[in-house]
Amino acid sequence: MIFDPTFIAIMIVGAILGGLTQWHIKSTFKKYSKADLARPASGVQVAERTLRSVNLPVANESGAVSGANAFGKKPVSIMRTAGKLSDHFDPRSNTVALSEVVYDRSNVAAAAVAAHEVGHAIQTAEAYLPGRIRSALVPVANVGSSLSIWLIIGGFFLASTNAMLGGNLMWAGIILFGAAVLFQVVTLPVEFDASRRAMVLLRETGTLSQAELPQARKVLTAAALTYVAAALIAVAQLLYWIGLARD
């Protein structure tokens, strides 16, 4: 299995594709982080503005809440997080976490990323179905990504002495890995929708000019490609494991 040309090809293509998409998002972000906004606004200000534009209450780092009169809506916290391109939205705490290169910066890249994470916050507020499915898959996907490969490999080698037990182990691993792949696939519409919402917010709030909007789209498209690449490689690996178990 380890020396199977098909397996090696998948690993090589995966490494190349992953490396290229990571390089693309980093270079695109770097390019447009140098594009200062015509109407200056830091990442945290963009996040606050776009959240308020859809009537979601906002809690800043000091705990102060603005727009708390929005009926039935839990305040969205905005916080600074360490690292570069570590921006994310945590639905458990309803928190938009912006990295140091986004939180305080006023440029096209920072605005695009901040608005994208707000897009995820809006998805949670609206109980967006693909987002709910993705959140529900998190526990099993975590187990699948860490345990499945060992079950598959163990089953493969055990099959030479006990075909039934080895086969069962392999299929158990494949099912777990399939859950992790499903998580990656479901992530795609969630990320695409968050980017779509971000572009609408940036335009409707007047945060970006007409000339800056296409630049923001390039940042968000580059980020989306990393998810597409990860999903494609995960599906290819799943198909390989299924073919191996059937042999």
Contact 185, 166 (CB under 8 A): no
Say which residue the tokens 């779509």 belong to. Answer: 196
* End-to-end Cα distance, the chain: 12
3-state secondary structure of 88: strand
Six token digits for residue 233: 């490689």
Contact 230, 184 (CB under 8 A): yes
The phi, psi pair for 33, rounded to 5°, reads: -75, -10
**Counting beta carbons within 10 angstroms of the beta carbon of residue 50, is it exposed (0 to 12), middle (13 to 18) or buried (19 or more)?**
buried
Residues labelled catalytic: 117
